[in-house]
Amino acid sequence: MRRGSWRIRILIGLAIVAFAFVRRCSNQEENPYTGRTQNIDMTAEQEIAIGLQSAPEMAQQHGGLYPDERLQSLVDAVGQKLVKSSIAYETPYEYDFHLLADDRTVNAFALPGGQIFITYALFSQLNEAQLAGVLGHEIGHVLGRHSAERIAESTFWQTLATGASVGGDMGNLVAGIGQNTLLTNGRNDELESDELGVLFMIEAGYDPYQMIEVMKILKAAAGPNRVPEFQSTHPDPENRIEKIQEAIQKYSGR
């Protein structure tokens, strides 16, 4: 390629990179529930819509909803108790708690906007306070707006990688750095959700130390050499336990 066209490529690449940063700046907002500044490019209404739209497919992937109405309402009652006694009640999100039929995958997750799921495989190992811990953690993901933040972050890194590959064949390098950053941020999301989960447990009158028992159950479910879904994006259980203990100290004196 001639030197002139290289110069144009670099200029275009730099323009794309600049665009990524400008958009990122204009998307900065402070989360009113956590006080943390985040990069977000969707509204709460959009989050709710995405969650409602994906919920049936999510349930389908885990064998649908668990058929016992009584257990469904138990999960919902514990979830709503956490919502009503915490700041979650003041958010625009619509919380729904679902028990999934899947009796092999130990997992729980939240879609943006308030759709929250727990598999029967995990549910069946928990007492009520531990269930509150898991659901509280998932409520933390919702009001922490973690999915929306991850979407905005990955758009940012994709745009940056495009700019880098147009401007100088460094797309893969930038994409790699982006992957790592997203993974690290994912772990921080987990720690933030653990802390919020502890707070919600205390506010709803549950023993927050049961959250530590949840970590032990997850660790045991992982087995000596198998990494389950729930753990692969999650920080080391020992690290989480330490942070949970700190959160209990922080909130139980209030």
Residues lying near Zn ion in the complex (CB under 5 A): 190
Cβ neighbour number for residue 56 with a 10 Å cutoff: 12
What tokens were used for 60? 């389908």
Nearest-approach distance from CB 165 to Zn ion, in angstroms? 32
Nearest-approach distance from CB 54 to Zn ion, in angstroms? 17
Contact 63, 100 (CB under 8 A): yes
> Residue 190 or residue 195: which is nearer to Zn ion going by CB?
190
Q: Which of 212, 203, 71 is nearest to 130 (CA)?
A: 212
What tokens were used for 8? 């144009």
> Residue 20 or residue 217: which is nearer to Zn ion going by CB?
217
> Residue 133 or residue 167: which is nearer to Zn ion going by CB?
133
Nearest-approach distance from CB 193 to Zn ion, in angstroms? 5
Nearest-approach distance from CB 156 to Zn ion, in angstroms? 22
> Residue 53 or residue 188: which is nearer to Zn ion going by CB?
188
Compute CA distances 49 → 44, 53, 62, 100, 219, whole Å.
Answer: 9, 6, 21, 21, 34
Q: Taking CB positions, which residue lies at the least distance from Zn ion?
A: 190
Q: Kindly state the greatest CA–CA separation across the chain.
A: 72
The dihedral through the CA atoms of 250, 148, 219, 82 has a sign that is: positive
**Contacts with 148 (C-beta within 8 Å, 6 or more apart), sequence order:** 40, 41, 42, 47, 112
Nearest-approach distance from CB 146 to Zn ion, in angstroms? 8
- Chain position carrying tokens 């919600």: 200
> Residue 153 or residue 190: which is nearer to Zn ion going by CB?
190
> Residue 190 or residue 203: which is nearer to Zn ion going by CB?
190
Nearest-approach distance from CB 123 to Zn ion, in angstroms? 16
β pairing state of 115-119 and 37-39: unpaired
